[in-house]
């Protein structure tokens, strides 16, 4: 569909060729011996990628929103209090989902581009007994990175479950689910996980499962109910067939390949690579005189959200597309038309960053913006060389 | 994964090569102009394939069970009465889903292998005011085909909404949603629709949408709530970008290709082909002396469910697999180990039926079953020649 | 291109899905380390598949005819005598090629459908001093199988080099190059080797190389000259880069995968499988009352060449195609319009044979031919069950 | 094989995704109606791409060297005089090929990195009666671009046939075969034609065919003999089946897709794009302080051949590879270890150039070379913006 153009949005991303080949394989039975092996291995690999060997992985056909829905519907009982640490669109969405299942939601927000301080989170936690705290690791709408380690530690101290929306972060931003005591970490396949869209991924801690087991009200959402999925996940991981709903065979096969790549690189190297690549992109954008939505101290390494220069709007994305790179427009409702988004996750390479900045320069030039030609790519390249 | 072995189960099925190629394409942005065109066209094609030009199509990442969940959660309000016409495992599942959303469920069942008579359905409908009636067009666990036209007509007469679970039927068994007045027809991508698993498909009549719009209680399931999806489906069909959750780009592209094949063949020809192919498979199985779960008068054209001969059990499936064909074991909990299932949907060809029966013969022979060698393939071939 | 139709011609054949995936991979450099490994391994595997560990493999972009050309141009010096054992079109072609390089060619022929007796070959060999003897293992135009072991033994006894055109045979018909003393065995990728067309494969014995090294006249054909290719083949097999002409990277990668499949099956099992499958096809064709070009005693196991029944001609192939199977028309100029050809090599399965005979029956029926419906598939199936 | 690394060598190149998908399609019969259409169309498209509507295209399984061999073997008769305008390795190879077929070869050479002046060519032409003149449009070993228009005009004036080796040029460097009176233009699929390696392409003028028809000696090379291929090419272009040797079905299908892309871009735009991209690469390399093999006035637009800086050798290519870009080492025997080669042909984009220069910078930095970080990418980007 996209030919040789680069897809540099905050998901879906550029996938590894062998991941795409796994997508295009002739589908086999969901209970064929080789598929059971593939699915079982993917679940095992998820534990390693989430740095949560003792967790319970769930892989279900759906989007990242389904993963959020699964967390909320399985943990929340009507009347439960939930604290939402919001840094953008997806924090607000989590609140809406939690409320759907009967939660009383308290929000901790920060100004656009900032993240709430841990103090504020702690203060909120002290107000009442929260069943759970959610926090968006990187909000795809703003590119703000939060201190999920700190939030999880606070949640634990205050006896709440911690839920990390890792949709734009997991497998790229540093996250040590088990060590940091995060109860649920969830994401979607098409982000740093490196698999085409269509899979919701969720890792639950024993404490989260225990809370679910103790609930009194039935889970209000049938499709997302862990009672349906848990036996299936356990069976496949034990290399046995099981059935609740037909798994998305090709996507699961692709996921297994992609998780294999992630583990081959190593999580530590992968976290470092995203820091380095993210810095290069941000340096390049800054060198062109563009400001960014996220404050530098809380800027994600997986994406960059620059404001358009004065007098230039979303139409510049078309020129950038013609220059060979697909970028994303704004998403946050308050400022949708004033900024754009660059994703740099997963298989992203040095070359992708240079190509992207080159196309941004070309688009800006076509739109009449004045800047030193080459300044963006040169700044990014200097950062890349520095970070080698 | 499966090499050149034939996948002859009641889904996933053998997919057309260009459908698989669409799966393996490099993913583009979910708001790229060409993807908007692809998704929009797929939605239009769905109307034609469902024979429901005036319906509202929904395509969502998930399984067939999500489609059932979507129907139930959007239509049912706590306390509503629902009538379930059950012919197996998936009828029972629909009851469970409806109850999850607060429905009072009345079941109309028939003995294993049979379908309830329309009289029985009508009698039940007369008992009280039902908000909706569900019926499984072909229950994948039994291979029983129901008279969905008759059930829909009764539902209409009694003022109930009709919901057809078409998971093993839609795009293969005759179904004229608009003409027959079916309010919801739902299926999964990996069946006769001919696309790898991972998409839930649902077509809602204006009456169904109207009922949803008039509901007082919020939809209990966030992910399945039409309020989230309707603007997205309308936007893509109008060739505009919209966002609720990232669509499964590759699966949607594959769906579009597959729906194109279905329309190129033509629905009428496709219904006839499934009748002819189904008859050939059943003749072949009968000629080997095997009896079938579904009574002849209500046997599906998309699958065949033979009982194992005396003394032979599920281990014969392994020999059939070694002979090159992947079949499915039993699914209905009462008789799971006593029968097996052959799917013949979508791209299925005459040759597939012969190859399948050949492998069944080889498996049975290896298991020590006595029969006239070649009788199954010959009987199938006679039927195929007769039906040409 | 062909969708789910079966390609049952004497090459190209149905290729394994992972062979096709190797074809579709992004091409890498012909001197990339991983490609050097792939090419080197393919050469090693060729030795095993040709049962000629001490031979020298050549893999060159080109067709099977290039392999013949390479054998002739490297071995023949003007005035050399060559004996051609011809069983059809490709024997005649070998004579033409040999003459092009200055050979004095003597032909040993048999009536159409027969193979010359070894006595006749020996008698010819006794007439004069032959530099080489060529023999077509299976002539694709007639489906006649020759006794290449016997011919090679005679050649050795009379001091001639033996050249086997294995284009429709190698990796399917029993052939033990080293043990049987065959000096050159050559084939094309798209036959029983199981790789799409585009590669000429040749295995030369030390004696053949020695004869080439001692030649006085230069090799007349530049592209085919071993002097250009030998260092390249030796280098890749030693896992070193080398360059003469850019190898067909994707085809070589596909070849490596396919040779891997052949070795995984095992040559002995593979020879047996082709005997069994070939017998089934021939039984099925005979049961329909069709006679075959090749006499039963010399009929190939890789293909079947039936005569059309009276009153039916090549137009029946179109009906067979519409029934889902692609067959080939006649090739031998004398009787081109009177017979057709079915290939059954490589990945061919029991199911493929049944599907093919089913389509042949359907085509014949459409053409008005009278036969017992199902007789062909039943006879084939009986043979398959017998041979299990 | 190469994952997401960029292949930036002077062939094979980065191929368009749909070209690779055509490679991976299930192979059909070489005489199937749809393949005949594909092959026929590809031949027609070749006429347009070579800007030679009145020529005769040949597409044969083999490498670019086979195309050279075909030109030489079909045109040369023993004793003919041939003039070779040589600018590197491939000029020398053409001489060797011509001599193989009995030509008396006269060389016109220039110092490494230069091209002979037209005066020198004319002077040589005046010495005796030449049957043909060959000239390498871009010699892949040096990156020197020749004035093929001028050479062809001289050849015509002096009554010789002109043969252009367009292997690293055709479909990228300006060439108007018919208008410029070039008698043969030949290339290989894996260069600017944009198709994986394995096809030799040749376009012969009526004058070239006439010369071949008038020859007295038989063509010494059987496989390359136009007498074998001409009826096949004519038949496919007339949409009829024909057989000499099985065409490389998948490669031909891929070729057709790629030629379609070339024509969609338009030859004039394509020539301009290569000029612009080539200039950017050269600017970038120069900004890093590296000198180039080819003199600026005769430097190709399809490749760049920089010398390594002092103290750095071929090992830097490994560091560049690790930085994500595959480059090629030197090829010219005299200076093999002193320079490297960057290809920029076909689907090459602005982003590819930036990514390549970024990787070159990173490799050089790792090797200890001192330069202003980012200077290469910035210079290339300035040139790209200038040339937009």
8-state DSSP, C16: P
Assign 3-class secondary structure to chain D: CCCCCEECCCCCCCCCHHHHHHHHCCCCCCCCHHHHHHHHHHHHHHHHHCCCCCCEEEEEECCHHHHHHHHHHHHCCCCCEEEEEECCHHHHHHHHHHHHCCCEEEEEECCCCCCCCHHHHHHHHCCCCCCEEEEECEECCCCEECCHHHHHHHHHHCCCEEEEECCCCCCCCCCCHHHHCCCEEEEECCCCCCCCCCEEEEEECHHHHHHHHCCCCCCCCCCCCHHHHHHHHHHHHCCCCCCCCCCCHHHHHHHHHHHHHHHHHCHHHHHHHHHHHHHHHHHHHHHCCCCECCCHHHECCCEECEECCCCCCCCHHHHHHHCCEECEECCCCCCHHHEEEEECCCCCCHHHHHHHHHHHHHHHHHCCCCCCCCHHHHHHHHHHHHCC
- Is residue D12 reached through a cis peptide bond, with omega within 30 degrees of 0 on the bond before it? yes
- Chain C: closest CA distance from residue A17 (Å): 8
Distance CA A60, CA A82 (A): 24
pLDDT of D52 > 80? The answer is yes
Name chain D's partners: 3 or more CB pairs within 8 A.
Answer: A, B, C
pLDDT for position A220 = 97
Q: What is the pLDDT of residues C77-125, one digit of tens each?
A: 999 999 999 999 999 999 999 999 999 999 999 999 999 999 999 999 9
8-state DSSP, C26: P
Residues 295-334 on C with a CB inside 8 Å of D are: 326, 328-329, 331
Helix (H) or strand (E) holding B139: strand B138-139
Please give the domain boundaries of chain D with CATH numbers for all domains: 17-265 (3.40.640.10), 267-387 (3.90.1150.10)
8-state DSSP, B306: B
- Residues of chain D above pLDDT 70, percent: 99
Residue D227 touches chain C, beta carbons under 8 Å: no
Residue A41 touches chain B, beta carbons under 8 Å: no
Distance CA A102, CA A72 (A): 10
Distance CA C258, CA C270 (A): 13
Q: At what angle do helices B17-24 and D17-24 cross, to 10 degrees?
A: 140
Question: What six digits make up the tokens of C84?
Answer: 């051609």
Q: Do B350 and C352 touch (CB under 8 A)?
A: no
Residues 6+ apart with CB under 8 A from D161: D75, D131, D132, D133, D155, D183, D184, D207, D208, D211
pLDDT for position A285 = 98
Q: List phi, psi (to 5°) of A287.
A: -65, -20
- Give me the mean pLDDT over the D279-304 stretch: 98
Distance CA A247, CA D35 (A): 37
Distance CA B36, CA D43 (A): 35
Whole-number mean pLDDT of chain A?
98
- Cα-Cα-Cα-Cα dihedral sign, residues A246, A247, A248, A254: negative
- Chain D: closest CA distance from residue B25 (Å): 8
Distance CA D138, CA D136 (A): 5
Question: What six digits make up the tokens of C105?
Answer: 């060619």
pLDDT for position A250 = 98
Q: Scanning the structure block, which residue is given the tokens 């939402």?
A: A84
- Could you give the 3-state DSSP secondary structure of residue C365? helix
Distance CA A213, CA A194 (A): 32
* Minimum-distance CB partner of D362 among A3, A359, A388: A388
Residue D368 touches chain A, beta carbons under 8 Å: no
Interface A–B counts its CB contacts (< 8 A) at: 215
- Could you give the 3-state DSSP secondary structure of residue C203? strand
Q: List phi, psi (to 5°) of B57.
A: -80, 145
Q: What is the pLDDT of residues A15-25, one digit of tens each?
A: 999 999 999 99
- Cβ atoms of residues B255 and B59 within 8 Å: yes
At residue D387 the predicted structure's pLDDT band, cuts being 50, 70 and 90, is confident
Whole-number mean pLDDT of chain D?
98
- Chain A: closest CA distance from residue D356 (Å): 7
Distance CA A153, CA B159 (A): 56
At residue A387 the predicted structure's pLDDT band, cuts being 50, 70 and 90, is confident
- Give me the mean pLDDT over the D348-356 stretch: 98
Q: Do D21 and B25 touch (CB under 8 A)?
A: yes
* Minimum-distance CB partner of A26 among C17, C24, C25: C17
pLDDT for position C387 = 80
Q: Do A349 and D366 touch (CB under 8 A)?
A: no
C-alpha distances (whole Å) from A80 to each of A96, A213, A222, B145 are 14, 16, 20, 45
Helices and strands in chain B, H and E counts: 14, 14
At residue C351 the predicted structure's pLDDT band, cuts being 50, 70 and 90, is very high
How many residues appear in chain B?
Answer: 388
- Chain C: closest CA distance from residue B188 (Å): 22
Q: What is the pLDDT of residues B81-107, one digit of tens each?
A: 999 999 999 999 999 999 999 999 999
Residues 105-164 on B with a CB inside 8 Å of A are: none
Residue B3 touches chain D, beta carbons under 8 Å: no
pLDDT for position A298 = 98
Would you write out chain B's pLDDT as a tens digit for each of its 388 residues? 799 999 999 999 999 999 999 999 999 999 999 999 999 999 999 999 999 999 999 999 999 999 999 999 999 999 999 999 999 999 999 999 999 999 999 999 999 999 999 999 999 999 999 999 999 999 999 999 999 999 999 999 999 999 999 999 999 999 999 999 999 999 999 999 999 999 999 999 999 999 999 999 999 999 999 999 999 999 999 999 999 999 999 999 999 999 999 999 999 999 999 999 999 999 999 999 999 999 999 999 999 999 999 999 999 999 999 999 999 999 999 999 999 999 999 999 999 999 999 999 999 999 999 999 999 999 999 999 998 7
* Minimum-distance CB partner of D220 among C29, C190, C221: C221
pLDDT of C388 > 90? The answer is no
Question: What six digits make up the tokens of A155?
Answer: 């949640």
- Residues of chain A above pLDDT 70, percent: 99
Helices and strands in chain C, H and E counts: 14, 14
C58 contacts on D by Cβ (under 8 Å): none
Question: What six digits make up the tokens of C34?
Answer: 């991983």
- Give me the mean pLDDT over the A350-374 stretch: 98
Question: What six digits make up the tokens of A223?
Answer: 């499709």
Residue A26 touches chain C, beta carbons under 8 Å: yes
Q: Which of B282, B308, B300 is nearest to B387 (CA)?
A: B282
């Amino acid at each position: 569909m996209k030919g040789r153009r680069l897809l540099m949005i905050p998901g879906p991303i550029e996938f590894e060729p062998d991941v795409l080949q796994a997508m295009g394989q002739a589908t086999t039975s969901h209970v064929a011996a080789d598929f059971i092996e593939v699915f079982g291995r993917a679940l095992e690999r998820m534990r390693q990628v989430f740095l949560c060997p003792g967790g319970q992985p769930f892989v279900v056909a759906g989007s990242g929103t389904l993963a959020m829905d699964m967390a909320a519907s399985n943990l929340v009982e009507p009347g439960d209090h939930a604290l939402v640490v919001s840094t953008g669109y997806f924090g607000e969405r989590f609140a809406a989902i939690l409320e759907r299942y009967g939660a009383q939601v308290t929000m901790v927000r920060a100004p656009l581009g900032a993240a709430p301080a841990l103090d504020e989170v702690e203060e909120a936690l002290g107000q009442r007994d929260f069943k759970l705290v959610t926090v968006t690791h990187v909000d795809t709408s703003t590119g703000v990175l939060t201190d999920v380690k700190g939030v999880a530690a606070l949640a634990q101290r205050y006896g709440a479950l911690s839920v990390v929306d890792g949709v734009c972060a997991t497998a790229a931003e540093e996250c040590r689910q088990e060590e940091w005591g995060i109860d649920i970490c969830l994401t979607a396949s098409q982000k740093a996980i490196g698999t085409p869209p269509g899979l919701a991924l969720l890792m639950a801690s024993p404490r989260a499962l225990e809370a679910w087991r103790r609930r009194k009200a039935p889970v209000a959402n049938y499709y997302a109910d862990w009672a349906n999925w848990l036996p299936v996940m356990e069976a496949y991981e034990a290399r046995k067939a099981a059935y609740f709903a037909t798994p998305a065979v090709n996507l699961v096969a692709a996921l297994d390949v992609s998780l294999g790549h992630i583990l081959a690189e190593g999580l530590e190297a992968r976290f470092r690579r995203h820091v380095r690549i993210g810095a290069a992109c941000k340096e390049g954008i800054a060198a062109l005189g563009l400001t960014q939505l996220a404050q530098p101290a809380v800027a994600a390494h997986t994406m960059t959200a620059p404001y358009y220069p004065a007098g230039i709007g979303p139409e510049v994305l078309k020129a950038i597309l013609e220059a060979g790179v697909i970028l994303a427009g704004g998403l946050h409702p308050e400022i949708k038309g004033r900024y754009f988004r660059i994703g740099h996750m997963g298989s992203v390479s040095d070359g992708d960053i240079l190509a992207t900045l080159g196309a941004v320069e070309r688009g800006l030039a076509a739109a009449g913006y004045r800047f030193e030609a080459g300044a963006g790519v040169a700044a990014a390249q200097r950062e890349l060389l520095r970070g080698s």
